[in-house]
C-alpha cells in the first residue's frame, strides 16, 4: 500500500487566554498539519507547533523539513514497511524534532487506519487518563484566582508555572494553597528558572509548610544535569526532567545516573510516538515513572500523545490540557472535567463518546 502524496498546511490558532511561563508568553499558536495519503485513499494526519525556547524549531523550519527531506523519504514507500519508514523519518535530517513528530504521528494514524484499529490498540492497552490544569505565571493574586476556578471546575491536580524570583514564587504558592481544597495537589513547573541552591531551599521550605507539592518539574537549566542531581538528592519531593529530555539516549542517561525521579515525555521534543515509546520503556526498566506532556500545540498532536498515554503502563502522570486553551473546536480529544476521552475509531480517530455536562 503505497504512500501517494504528502501535503502540509499552516494555521494560526488564537488562545482563549494568554499562556505565560518563565520562558515565554503566548497568545496564539502556529499549527502545522501534515497529511499522508495512501493509494487506496486512506489519509493519515499529524501536526506540530514550533516552540523556539524549547525545541528551537521555527514555523519555516518545520514546513521545510516536512516538504523537503521527510516527504522525499516517504513518497512511493509501502506503509506496510512501517518500522523502516519510522527510521527514515528520523534519519533523513538531523534535529527538527517537531517536524519529525508531525510525520511520525501522521504515519501512525495512516498505518492504524490501514489496520482498521484505534491507535491505542496498536500501541498497547487503554487505561483511563485524566489531565492536570496549568496555572500560568502571574501575580500571586491572579494565580490564586485561576487556581480556585480550576479546582471548582473539577481539576484535583494543578500544574503551577513558577521559576522567577524564589521569594515571589513562594508567595504565589502560598496564595494558591490558601484558596484551594486540601485534596488538590500542586505540581510546580519552574521551566529552568532556578539555580540548584535556590531550588533546594525553596522546595524544602514548601515541604516544611506542607503545601501539598506532588512534584517539581525542571527546576534548573536544561543543560545543568549535575544541578538536577544536586536538587534530586537534597529534597523529598520528586524531581522531574522536561527540557533536559529529548531522546531515548537522554532518558537512559537520566535514569541510569539517577539524575531525576521522573521523566516528562513530549512528542514535539523527542520526534514522535516511536521515540516516546522507547523513552517510556527505558524508564520502566529502571523503575522511573513517566508523564506524558504537551506544549501549546494542536488537539491532533495532543491526541496522539493521549493514545500513547492510554497504552503504555509506565506513563502514569498526564498533562494534556493544551487543547483546552485553544479557541478552535476540539477534533480529536474530548474532556469532562479532568477526564480525557479517546475515540475507538481507527487511527487517532474522531470522538464518539458522549460528554457529560
Q: Residues with catalytic annotation?
A: 161, 266
Q: Which helix (H) or strand (E) holds 123?
A: helix 119-123
Residue 37 near residue 3, CB atoms below 8 Å: yes
Residue 326: C-alpha distances to residues 65, 149, 158, 321 (Å)? 25, 18, 18, 10
Separation between Cα atoms, residue 126 and residue 71, nearest integer Å:
32
Separation between Cα atoms, residue 121 and residue 126, nearest integer Å:
7
The three cell numbers of residue 25 are: 508568553
* DSSP code, position 118: B
| DSSP β-bridge partners for residue 12 | 30
Distance of CA 356 to the CA centre of its chain: 25
Separation between Cα atoms, residue 322 and residue 294, nearest integer Å:
6
Residue 31 CB contacts under 8 Å (≥ 6 apart), including other chains: 10, 11, 12, 13, 47, 48, 49, 297, 298
Given strand 3-20, what is the order of strands in its sheet? 3-20, 25-38, 43-48
Separation between Cα atoms, residue 228 and residue 225, nearest integer Å:
5
Backbone angles phi and psi of 79, in degrees to 5 = -60, -25
Residue 175: C-alpha distances to residues 15, 178, 213, 232 (Å)? 26, 5, 14, 26
Residue 346 near residue 113, CB atoms below 8 Å: yes
Amino acid at each position: 500500500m503505497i504512500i501517494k502524496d504528502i501535503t502540509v498546511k499552516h494555521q494560526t490558532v488564537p488562545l482563549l487566554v494568554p499562556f505565560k511561563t518563565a520562558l515565554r508568553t503566548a497568545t496564539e499558536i502556529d499549527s502545522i498539519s501534515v497529511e499522508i495519503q495512501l493509494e487506496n485513499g486512506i489519509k493519515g494526519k499529524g501536526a506540530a507547533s514550533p516552540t523556539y525556547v524549547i525545541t528551537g524549531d521555527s514555523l519555516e523550519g518545520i514546513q521545510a523539513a516536512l516538504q523537503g527531506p521527510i516527504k522525499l523519504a516517504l513518497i512511493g514507500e509501502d506503509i506496510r514497511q512501517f518500522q523502516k519508514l519510522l527510521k527514515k523519518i528520523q534519519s533523513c535530517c538531523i534535529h527538527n524534532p517537531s517536524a519529525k513528530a508531525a510525520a511520525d504521528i501522521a504515519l501512525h494514524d495512516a498505518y492504524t487506519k490501514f489496520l482498521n484499529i484505534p491507535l491505542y490498540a496498536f500501541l498497547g492497552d487503554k487505561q483511563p487518563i485524566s489531565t492536570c490544569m496549568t496555572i500560568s505565571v502571574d501575580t500571586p493574586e491572579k494565580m490564586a484566582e485561576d487556581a480556585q476556578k480550576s479546582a471548582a471546575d473539577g481539576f484535583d491536580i494543578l500544574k503551577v508555572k513558577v521559576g522567577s524570583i524564589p521569594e515571589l514564587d513562594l508567595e504565589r504558592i502560598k496564595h494558591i494553597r490558601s484558596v484551594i481544597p486540601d485534596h488538590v495537589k500542586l505540581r510546580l513547573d519552574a521551566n529552568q528558572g532556578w539555580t540548584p541552591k535556590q531550588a533546594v531551599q525553596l522546595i524544602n521550605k514548601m515541604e516544611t509548610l506542607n503545601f501539598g507539592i506532588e512534584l517539581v518539574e525542571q527546576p534548573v537549566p536544561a543543560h545543568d544535569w549535575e544541578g538536577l542531581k544536586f536538587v534530586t538528592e537534597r529534597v523529598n519531593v520528586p524531581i522531574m526532567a522536561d527540557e533536559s529530555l529529548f531522546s531515548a539516549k537522554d532518558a537512559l542517561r537520566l535514569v541510569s545516573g539517577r539524575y531525576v525521579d521522573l521523566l516528562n515525555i513530549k512528542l514535539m521534543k523527542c520526534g514522535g510516538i516511536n521515540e516516546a515509546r522507547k523513552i517510556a520503556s527505558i524508564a520502566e526498566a529502571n523503575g522511573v515513572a513517566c508523564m506524558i506532556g504537551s506544549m501549546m500545540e494542536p488537539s491532533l498532536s495532543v491526541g496522539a500523545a493521549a493514545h500513547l498515554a492510554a497504552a503504555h503502563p509506565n506513563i502514569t502522570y498526564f498533562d494534556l490540557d493544551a487543547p483546552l486553551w485553544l479557541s478552535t473546536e476540539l477534533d480529536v480529544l474530548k474532556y469532562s472535567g479532568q477526564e480525557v476521552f479517546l475515540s475507538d475509531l481507527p487511527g487517532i480517530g474522531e470522538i464518539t463518546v458522549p460528554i457529560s455536562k
